[in-house]
Amino acid sequence: MSSRKCLAMLSPRFSAAAVLFLVLAGLAVPAVRAQKLETIEVEGQPLAANVKRLVEALEYLGAPMSAETSAALKSAADARDAHKLQQLLDPHVLLVVSLNPESRVKVARGPAPAVLQQAGFTPVLVKVINDSTVTEALRIKSPQSGPVYAGVATLSMTRQDQLPLKENENTRGDKDRFLSVEMFTSQPMTAKLSGLKVEYAIALIYSSEAGKREATLGFDIGQGTQDLGFRSEAPVLLDVRPAIPVKLSVKDYDGQPSCGRFTFRDKTGHVYPPQAKRLAPDLFFQRQIYRADGDIVLLPPGEFIMQSSRGPEYHLQERTVKIPAQGPAHLDVQLQRWVNPAQYGYFSGDHHIHAAGCAHYTIPTEGVLGRDMFLQVKGEGLNVGCILTWGPCFQFQHQFFEPAPDKISEPFAVLKYDIEVSGFGSQALGHVCLLNLRDQNYPGSDG
């Protein structure tokens, strides 16, 4: 019996429910990969120029086409053969973005496998079919992207000129924010669509997790351009290859195991790990991370510019490092002092450090822990670090106070919790730092 006859035998109410169930079920599964994309009639010369720039960009990003495909694309581009160019590129397209004459955006799955690299920005191809001739910027989005923290002070981010780190904060504490997504709009690509009926773009997708992960990827060209019924986004099952664990061997100027500060950047300027994906001990508002001898940092295969130091008493060293495709990997770091005040009886300290408030988040924790700050104290080459608890998150941070230096302290690296007073009349003299306290609570107060 045909499916049409079967549905005709059902009651109208049951038929509607069945159809609704099928529609909702369809929304709950990843979009099926297209076997073949439609070849669109388009002028050959501008498409050829777009494809040539695309090939150059992929080479720059370290994800070149195969030699055979590159040669075929060059031949088709020289011949201005728009059909051949699409036939060659379409199998590599992850997502197809269609813009109707009213500039409404619809997204469909392309035929390319959705393979990403954990801890790296993977370039993926996007085919744009533009029936609107609009020339706005194409934007990518995902509910799985965005910061993993929340509760950041706007003033602090403004002072640091890092306001984007506050956008789309994770106020609900979602555990599913494992992506970062962006369009690659640097040269030789363009920041906006050309208006051509067909063109190809590059999206960069970062995953902090490895394995099979489902994500929803959507596009728009501005407010109100999304199509109805969730058609401006597509669920995609991602296959994320594991990152390479890179072990750092950190030695001080005298050859002893030590701790340092490190910054890893790729040629496009991305910082690793991305700041919006950091939780303690890595602090999201810093570009650098801190690692001790033997610690691990997860990186994707490829070349990076690594900066290493240990605070103002050490030289800032920079070199290019190459992470192999197969791990684990190992990096030797020899720190170099330019001055050693301890030789002259002077010891370095910072008496004004915050573990909460200022630039810190309040979700998932109210600031960070002492062990997180101790890593920074050691990584900056300090002998003394005073963590000042103040108004924000006072009750949470108060639990870590002790009259004596924190138990995590070492002979030449001491951590002590104390108090900063602000918001009272006494701050007319400046924010007052109360050091070496035996009790954080003022006599007669409860906190």
pLDDT in tens, 81-128: 999 999 999 999 999 999 999 999 999 999 999 999 999 999 999 999
**Architecture in CATH of 244-334:** Sandwich (2.60)
Q: How many CB atoms lie within 10 A of CB 170?
A: 19
Q: What are the φ/ψ torsions at residue 45 (nearest 5 degrees)?
A: -65, -50
Q: Residue 133: its pLDDT value, please?
A: 87
pLDDT of 421 higher than 90: no
pLDDT > 90: percent of the chain = 82
Domain span(s) for CATH 2.60.40 in the chain:
244-334
Q: Residue 443: its pLDDT value, please?
A: 81
What digits encode the pLDDT tens for the residues 348-407?
999 999 999 999 999 999 999 999 999 999 999 999 999 999 888 999 999 999 999 999
Q: Residue 13: its pLDDT value, please?
A: 39
Beta strands in 110-232 (DSSP E): 115-117, 121-130, 139-141, 179-183, 198-207, 211-220
Q: How many CB atoms lie within 10 A of CB 160?
A: 13
Q: How many CB atoms lie within 10 A of CB 21?
A: 10
The stretch 8-22 carries a mean pLDDT of 38
Q: Which amino acid is at 368?
A: V
pLDDT of 199 higher than 60: yes
Tokens of 168: 């789309």
Q: Is residue 445 exposed (0-12), middle (13-18) or buried (19+ Cβ within 10 Å)? A: exposed
Q: Residue 226: its pLDDT value, please?
A: 63
Sign of the CA dihedral running 164, 166, 167, 168: positive
Q: Which residues, 6+ apart, have CB-to-CB distance to 217 below 8 Å? A: 95, 107, 140, 141, 142, 181, 203, 205, 233, 234, 236
pLDDT > 70: percent of the chain = 90
In the structure, what pLDDT confidence band is assigned to residue 441 with cuts at 50, 70 and 90?
confident
Tokens of 285: 């508002």
